[in-house]
Amino acid sequence: MQPDGSNVLQQGDPDTSQLYTIAAGSAAWTDYTVQASVKPGANDLNQTSDIQARYSDTNNHYSFLFKNGGEWYLGMRSGGNWTTFDQGAFPYSHQYYTLALSVNGATISASINGTVVATTTDSTFSSGSIAFSTSATSELDNVLVTAFGSVTPTPTPPPTTPPTPTPTPGPSAPCAEVVNGALTVGTCSGTFTPGGSSGTACVEEVNGVMTLGTCSGTFKSTGG
């Protein structure tokens, strides 16, 4: 159990002669990062605590692991044969560490507590699930798989409501009105309402744009 009281996955057999593996996910998974909180087994810190990617079976997968009480290894097991890509020193104890293993195309990288410790290239495996294996009483928690290329959607802003047109006050606003079948330029002595329905239909310039509306006053043509 984690310090915060959450449940964890624990390998409970103290017999280190047996390797236990648990796998999850899909054989079709290709490019992703698997991250987990790993607590090496207190009964034997020399045994491996191993997260795996592009896992087909115990003999075919990429691995990132703790071993020998103070070392990490990045490598693969292919056809049952182990190949080390990179390794380094990292003294660890029986506490939680965040391990991550990324596979993206032929690029493989590993990190401890958010710090990348190794990057290499290999194209032996192109897809596979995730897995965790250990021979000690190790624990596993907070498993997270993130696919490369996943994009957080951008929220769509809500539609904006156009402002309500305000009436143009009189007394004499330039406008155009149909008089005797012809469009006649003149002035409106009342209030012009864009899109209005009460008054005399006319066209008036509003903010530089000819706008259809109604005039509540008297239309007078420019010609008299």
Q: What is the pLDDT of residues 103-153, one digit of tens each?
A: 999 999 999 999 999 999 999 999 999 999 998 889 999 999 999 975 545
Q: What is the pLDDT of residues 84-97, one digit of tens each?
A: 999 999 999 999 99
What's the pLDDT at 1?
A: 46
Question: Which residues, given as ranges, of the chain have pLDDT below 70?
Answer: 1-6, 150-190, 192, 195-212, 216-224
The 3-class secondary structure across the chain, one letter per residue, is: CCCCCCCCEECCCCCCCCCEEEEECCCCCCCEEEEEEEECCCCCCCCCEEEEEEEEECCEEEEEEEECCCEEEEEEEECCEEEEEEEEECCCCCCCEEEEEEEECCEEEEEECCEEEEEEECCCCCCCEEEEEECCCCEEEEEEEEECCCCCCCCCCCCCCCCCCCCECCCCEEEEEEECCEEEEEEECCCEEECCCCCEEEEEEECCEEEEEEECCCEEECCC
| pTM exceeds 0.85 for this model | no
What's the pLDDT at 52?
A: 97
Domain residue spans of the chain: 9-147, 173-221
Query: Among the CATH numbers 1.10.150.120, 3.30.70.360, 1.20.1050.10, 2.60.120.560, which is that of 9-147?
Result: 2.60.120.560
